[in-house]
């Protein structure tokens, strides 16, 4: 059952902020250099130029209205101009870190530990994804994530204020709500469930990083 606001925003605790700033430096280093011993791996497999032109369409209410009848086709976004961030288990080996073993990677482990200690001490925390939107015109089109239900915590970073946003459709009222990002890190929590599917999307005209976690209150 959904009560109050769908999206709740939480202040970033000091200890977590320190870990996140270090992570952000590694993302910047990786994205600003094309070769060398990069700390992270970024992957993109989309036709950026074609999709970039359509960034506003893929986060529009008009586009959403064309797809909501086929809800289970949109667990994942149909289109994006964004990069997945990951680490190799051992640098140089084509052996990408899967969601379940993110805990073995020092940065993710520190982030999960800080989240757990300071904000969700009675919950299990599962890493879901890391995405960088390197704007302008970066986006993730409307989708539901219904393949992976539960409370979702997104830790997001924006390089500039009011140049990127998270947009969702309120499952109770149908209202489209746009939440502009402020410069720096913030934490947002929202529920993903079958009863009240939460359609959502992202657009960014700046560099935006998002780290997603599923939080299960079971401890
Ligand atoms: Fe999502």
How many A from CA of 36 to the centre of ligand 1?
31
Q: Evaluate if residue 1 carries a pLDDT over 60.
A: no
Sequence ranges of the domains in the chain? 2-174+184-217
List CB-based neighbours of ion ligand 1 within 5 Å.
145
Least confident piece of the model among 30-44, 58-72, 129-143, 193-207 = 30-44
How many A from CA of 37 to the centre of ligand 1?
30
How many A from CA of 187 to the centre of ligand 1?
14
Give the Å distances, CA to CA, from 64 to 53, 197, 199: 17, 13, 8
Q: Evaluate if residue 95 carries a pLDDT over 50.
A: no
Looking at the chain, the whole-number percentage of residues with pLDDT higher than 70 is 83
How many A from CA of 152 to the centre of ligand 1?
9
Instruction: Give tens-digit pLDDT for 178-196.
Output: 999 999 999 999 888 888 8
How many A from CA of 181 to the centre of ligand 1?
16
Output the pLDDT for position 97: 52
May I ask the CATH class of domain 2-174+184-217? mainly beta
How many A from CA of 35 to the centre of ligand 1?
30
Instruction: Give tens-digit pLDDT for 48-82.
Output: 556 778 899 999 999 999 998 888 788 888 888 88
How many A from CA of 137 to the centre of ligand 1?
18
| Higher pLDDT pick, 146 / 37 | 146
How many A from CA of 54 to the centre of ligand 1?
19
How many A from CA of 200 to the centre of ligand 1?
6
Output the pLDDT for position 69: 85
């Amino acid at each position: 059952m959904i009560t109050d606001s769908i999206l709740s925003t939480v202040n970033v605790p000091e200890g977590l902020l320190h870990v996140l700033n270090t992570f952000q430096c590694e993302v910047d280093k990786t994205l600003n250099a094309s070769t060398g011993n990069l700390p992270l791996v970024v992957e993109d497999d989309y036709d950026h130029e074609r999709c970039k032109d359509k960034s506003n369409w893929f986060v529009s209410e008009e586009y959403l209205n064309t797809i909501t009848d086929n809800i289970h086709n949109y667990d994942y976004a149909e289109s994006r101009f964004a990069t997945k961030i990951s680490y190799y288990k051992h640098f140089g080996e084509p052996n990408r870190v899967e969601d379940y073993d993110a805990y073995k990677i020092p940065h993710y482990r520190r982030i999960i530990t800080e989240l757990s200690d300071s904000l969700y001490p009675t919950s299990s925390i599962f890493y879901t994804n890391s995405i960088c939107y390197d704007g302008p015109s970066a986006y993730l089109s409307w989708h539901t994530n219904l393949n992976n239900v539960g409370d979702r915590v997104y830790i997001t970073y924006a390089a500039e204020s009011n140049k990127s946003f998270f947009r969702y459709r309120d499952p109770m009222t149908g209202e489209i709500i746009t939440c502009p990002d402020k410069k720096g890190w913030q934490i947002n929590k929202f529920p993903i469930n079958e009863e009240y599917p939460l359609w959502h999307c992202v657009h960014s005209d700046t560099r935006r990083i998002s780290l997603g976690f599923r939080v299960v209150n079971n401890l």
